[in-house]
Structure 1
């Protein structure tokens, strides 16, 4: 998450996608997906892909609705 807070979104995405390969818990995966989706939308990629990722996060953890 440090890379994301520093604005290094390419590195943050690499780290999050790597974490998705390791993490199996749906709750933790929801936050990883949420951060991936936020980076994509922050980069101006307001596309089906970014919203699909955010929706996957929401499916795993409905409390994230307050964060959208």
Structure 2
């Protein structure tokens, strides 16, 4: 999360994608998917976030 707050979005995406490969609960998964979607939105990739907002 610190990479995202520091504006290092590509590093944050790498971290979130890595976290998705781990066994996580539904709350954590939804949090990660939401943040992946937010990063893509901030990068003006407006169609990509829909995949993540709707559960990838």
Superposition TM-score, scaled by structure 1 size: 0.76
Q: How many residues align?
A: 56
Aligned to 2:31: 31
Q: Decide which structure has greater helix share.
A: 1
Deviations for 1:12-62, whole angstroms, at most 9, x for unmatched residues? 000000000013211110000000000001100001x311211218xxxxx
Larger Rg: 1 or 2? 1
Unaligned runs of 5+ in 2: none
The TM-score normalised by the length of structure 2 is 0.91
Q: Which residue matches 2:43?
A: 43
Q: Identify the residue that residue 52 of structure 1 maps to in structure 2.
A: 51
Q: C-alpha distance in 2, partners of 1:42/1:27?
A: 23
RMSD of equivalent CA atoms: 1.3
Q: Could you tell me whether the CA contact under 8 Å between 1:4 and 1:12 is conserved in 2? A: yes
Point out where structure 1 has 5 or more consecutive residues left out of the alignment. 58-68
